[in-house]
Amino acid sequence: NITLDDLIIIKKLGHGMFGNVFLSAHKTKKNLYALKTIDRKKIDNEKVQDSLILERKILMQLNHMLILKLIKTFKDHKRLYFLLEYVRGQDLFDVIRELGLVSDKDSKFYAGCMIMIFEHLHERDIVYRDLKPENVMVDEEGYPKLIDFGTARIVEGRTYTMIGTPHYMAPEVILGKGYGISADYWSLGIMIYEFICGGVPFGESESDSYAIYEKVLEGKITYPSYANPTPDSKKFIDQLLSKNPALRSGGSIENLKSNTWLKDTDWEGL
Ligand code: ADP
Ligand code: MG
Ligand code: MG
Please identify every residue annotated as catalytic: 130
Q: Using 50, 70 and 90 to split pLDDT, how confident is the model at 156? A: confident
Distance 128 CA to ligand 3 centre (A): 11
Give the atom of ligand 1 at the shortest distance from the alpha carbon of 17: 3
Res 231: pLDDT = 97
Q: What is the DSSP string of 180-246?
A: -THHHHHHHHHHHHHHHHSS-SSSTT--SHHHHHHHHHH------TT----HHHHHHHHHHT-SSHH
Closest residue (by CA) to atom 3 of ligand 1?
A: 16
Q: Average pLDDT in the 128-134 region?
A: 97
Residue 29 makes CB contacts below 8 A (sequence gap 6+) with: none
The reported pTM is 0.94
Res 269: pLDDT = 83
Give the atom of ligand 1 at the shortest distance from the alpha carbon of 18: 3
Q: Average pLDDT in the 173-177 region?
A: 94
Answer yes or no: is pLDDT of 250 > 80. Answer: yes
Ligand 1: residues within 6 Å at CB?
13-14, 16-18, 21, 34, 36, 68, 84-87, 91, 134, 137, 147-148, 150
Q: Using 50, 70 and 90 to split pLDDT, how confident is the model at 16? A: confident
pLDDT, tens digit (0-9, with 9 covering 90-100), for 228-246: 999 999 999 999 999 999 9
How far is residue 249's CA from residue 239's CA, in Å, rounded to a whole number?
Answer: 8
pLDDT, tens digit (0-9, with 9 covering 90-100), for 64-122: 999 999 999 999 999 999 999 999 999 999 999 999 999 999 999 999 999 999 999 99
* Mutational pocket test of ligand 1: of 147, 149, 163, the residue with most ligand atoms within 8 Å of the beta carbon: 147
ipTM of the complex: 0.97
Distance 149 CA to ligand 2 centre (A): 8
Res 157: pLDDT = 86
Q: Average pLDDT in the 111-135 region?
A: 97
Q: Using 50, 70 and 90 to split pLDDT, how confident is the model at 22? A: very high
Distance 268 CA to ligand 3 centre (A): 30
How far is residue 194's CA from residue 241's CA, in Å, rounded to a whole number?
Answer: 13
Q: Using 50, 70 and 90 to split pLDDT, how confident is the model at 270? A: confident
Q: Average pLDDT in the 137-150 region?
A: 96
User: At 234, phi and psi to the nearest 5?
Assistant: -60, -40
Closest residue (by CA) to atom 4 of ligand 1?
A: 16
High-pLDDT (> 90) share of the chain, %:
94
Closest residue (by CA) to atom 23 of ligand 1?
A: 86
Distance 129 CA to ligand 1 centre (A): 16
Nearest to 21 by CA among 82, 92, 65, 73: 82
Q: How far is CA 73 from CA 4, 5, 28, 58, 255, in A?
A: 9, 13, 20, 13, 38
Nearest to 185 by CA among 270, 234, 119, 258: 119
How far is residue 147's CA from residue 13's CA, in Å, rounded to a whole number?
Answer: 13
